[in-house]
Structure 1
């Protein structure tokens, strides 16, 4: 129901600031958290671009009038939270209804294994297709370790990623992905995502774009409103 979604946040953001990684939740009170969220959003408020959606994993009808892009990091707890709590509503209300296509792009900034996980996921998409990619995507977030201490730890090692992939596909497919991953076959796709991050000056994850325009709100209702307005244009 709409009343249940009204206060749901879709954008609690893991920020980047002069190379440091900080948690915006850290026992600082609701008002301070709100200020930081606004500052993070302000850093991308002018970001707008025309995306090339070719070769990007997606959900929904490619011909939908609205394109939503999420930039995420598989180690980002707020990305995990969005994927598990807000996205099911988004998929039901916007994607499954044909109103929007949802795309995922990588912004792996938290630690060295962020980039490894991003490249591995990119390889899964190109070798095994869209369906398996999203299964792996969800499973990887589900296996994200709980706790800030893991942020600066190399968690997503190759064996971890392979084991995760084995939960959604067979051994033959896993071997195909591992071979291409080790060869760096799909690094270009990851570099494409990172070029958008740099161009747009994205300062935190998750970050959302609706038809190329930065989403500056924080709640589900605000995102719904932005999508509805974009659909009417």
Structure 2
């Protein structure tokens, strides 16, 4: 199946996501899913477009899923945290479908998904209790990406993660151009309505922020993700800012799968 690679890959030199710490459970899952994630996440076979190229922009239809695929999806679905207090998540912790998103704030395709596709998914599925979206910071473009990720985490500590994310993506910063300075990130926080900017700056530079970033980045690294955005929808892998119809097709397949892949 041909497709556009609507995902961003890091240039040769920028720093990769921080510190490869051991996460034995994730490594075990990743090893078991070598065929699914080899060379990075690929669009899952759960969606076909009736023989059409995925660029056709038509609604996909759910293909039959082999038993071994369902076992793989269930394993990956266990990465959903389902923490109702998670400031970087939208939707009920008990939603039947969880979409985990691995993204970088300097990634143009991540911005494209956020601005053009995600609003439809939020209105159609998050608002109706069907879908939960869990963000994972996956900074693949170096220091500025890492700084923005920690700033986003800090904004989340005051309940303004999603507003901060919107402010950054609306600014469309060019990769490693020097646009995401500490001063500019504070301006984004102010624009997002973060009430205590002194606390924001302290949180951004804290070990807690760095630890949270390492946790998210290590999860993506252990899955073999090499570009952004990348998604798991009830464990079904999707790579790139695909057409909204393809996301809808996978969400519909997941919600009607009889509880497969819920990760509970």
TM-score, shorter chain, exceeding 0.5: yes
With over 3 angstroms needed to count, the CA separation of the structure-2 counterparts of 1:96 and 1:42, relative to structure 1, is farther
- Structure 2 match to 1:187: 210
Deviation at 1:153?
Answer: 2.3
2:79 corresponds in structure 1 to 51
Shift of 1:97: 1.6
List alignment gaps of at least 5 residues for structure 2: 16-36, 45-71, 258-264
Question: Which structure has greater helix proportion?
Answer: 1
- Map of 2:104 onto structure 1: 73
- Larger deviation: 72-81 or 174-183? 174-183
Instruction: Work out whether 1:128 is the aligned partner of 2:158.
Output: yes
Superposition misfits of 4+ residues, deviation over 4 angstroms:
17-21
**How far off is 1:19 after superposition?**
5.5
- Check if 1:144 corresponds to 2:172: yes
Q: Which residue of 2 aligns with 1:162?
A: 186
The aligned counterpart of 2:140 is 109
Residue 125 of structure 2 corresponds to 94
Q: Secondary structure at the match of 2:208?
A: coil
Q: Which moved more, 1:107-116 or 1:213-222?
A: 213-222
Q: Offset of 1:61 from its aligned partner?
A: 1.7
Aligned mates of 1:10, 1:144 — CA distance in 2 = 21
Measured on the aligned residues, the alpha-carbon RMSD in Å equals 2.7
The question of whether the paired residues in 2 share the 8 Å contact of 1:11 and 1:82 is answered with: no
CA contact (8 A) 2:80 2:134 kept: no
Q: TM-score, normalised by structure 1?
A: 0.76
SS of the aligned residue for 2:180 comes to coil
Does the Cα contact within 8 Å between 1:119 and 1:181 map onto a contact in 2?
A: yes
Q: 5+ residue gaps in structure 1?
A: 1-8, 22-39
Whole-Å separation in 2 of the counterparts to 1:62 and 1:156:
32
Partner of 1:13: 7
Aligned residue pair count: 199
Tell whether 2:199 aligns with 1:176: yes
1:232 maps to 256
